[in-house]
Structure 1
Amino acid sequence: MAQKQSATHPAPDTTRRSERSRRAIYDAALALVAEVGYPKTTIEGIASRAGVGKQTIYRWWPSKADVLLEAFLDLGDQAARAAGRQPYTIPDTGDLAADLKNVLRATVDELRDPAFEAPSRALAAEGLVNEELGRRFVAKLLEPQLQLYVDRLRAAQDAGDVRADVDPRIALELFVSPLAQRWLQHTGPISHGYTDTLVDYALNGLTPR
């Protein structure tokens, strides 16, 4: 009597399954914040939309703010990869004004993109009342971006294009902070022309030359 051969089945790939679940949770969190706003977004709602149990979310994140922060950081990385560039880069072409204008124009485009606007506004607002989240939002998102401006301005100092006594960390606020304030407080439209003007004013000053 011939021995019956048992069919072999590969073990389920839990890593792939976890990644699919994580991606679904990211997408659900970002979509819900855009559709109903941050206050009405819940862990239960994210879980339902992602097709996972809420215990799965709590296994990886302690709160909806943590889910949204990680999802938003991942969204930025995806956009950078799709554009064929590394996350958090400011090209150095040797023309400081052009480099700053290009990166600020890209920032304007991102801030006006509904996919980015809703979660970034939600995180910025929540960070004002949730001190611990605010610190992580700054550390994980804002500081890495601001450091790029510092590095680019220091390179300009080395090239003799910026005074050696200028503090790059303060100087970058001349064009970054007005854009952030106008966007957050809706004090006026943001556009490429607006950020180009910020760079011109910051680099050339206001007094006659």
Structure 2
Amino acid sequence: MEELLSDIRECTICKDFIEPNPVVLASKQSKVIIVGQAPGTKVHQSGIPWDDASGKQLRNWLGVTDEQFYNTNNFGIIPMGFCYPGKGKSGDLPPRKECAPLWHQPLLDEMPNVQLVILIGMYAQNYYLKDKAKRTLTETVDAFHEYLPDYFVLPHPSPRNRFWLTKNPWFEKEVLPQLKKIIKELL
């Protein structure tokens, strides 16, 4: 596992397009895998996954402390794109497409204790759920029960998603209590 993590951290497959600085956190003991989009600028600088406002919100949604979250016996963090993809017109660019097909399965093969994979955002949901994903992220998250016990689907916890959260109050009332209950049981 350590050799694989080292290979990922040294990966430069996308060097012709972006500045590589792969961010990953996992161990053979990881019980819950978090698959998000890609690191943002702050995480690109720090090298610590979810080390930003989105990460603070995610830990709140999960009902865990920083110590629990960054304990690789609890969580493995495997983004769709391991490096910051750059800035787009309305936020960050999509994650690079090279990463997930190259690294996800070898990582998952090294983690026999995984009991749940949390899919954050449409890129992760479409990649893992394939034709089982609904037409929109909102529909997929609303149907979260359909993907259990293997997957739990979430919107991105970015502060930019305040409008989505306001428009969909059922998420905080119905989905988050279930998520916190499952995470508490797994940890």
Task: Answer with 1 or 2: which has the greater Rg.
Answer: 1
Q: TM-score, normalised by structure 1?
A: 0.26
Q: Of the two structures, which has the highest relative contact order with CA contacts closer than 8 Å and spacing of 6 or more? A: 2
- The answer to which structure has the higher helix fraction is 1
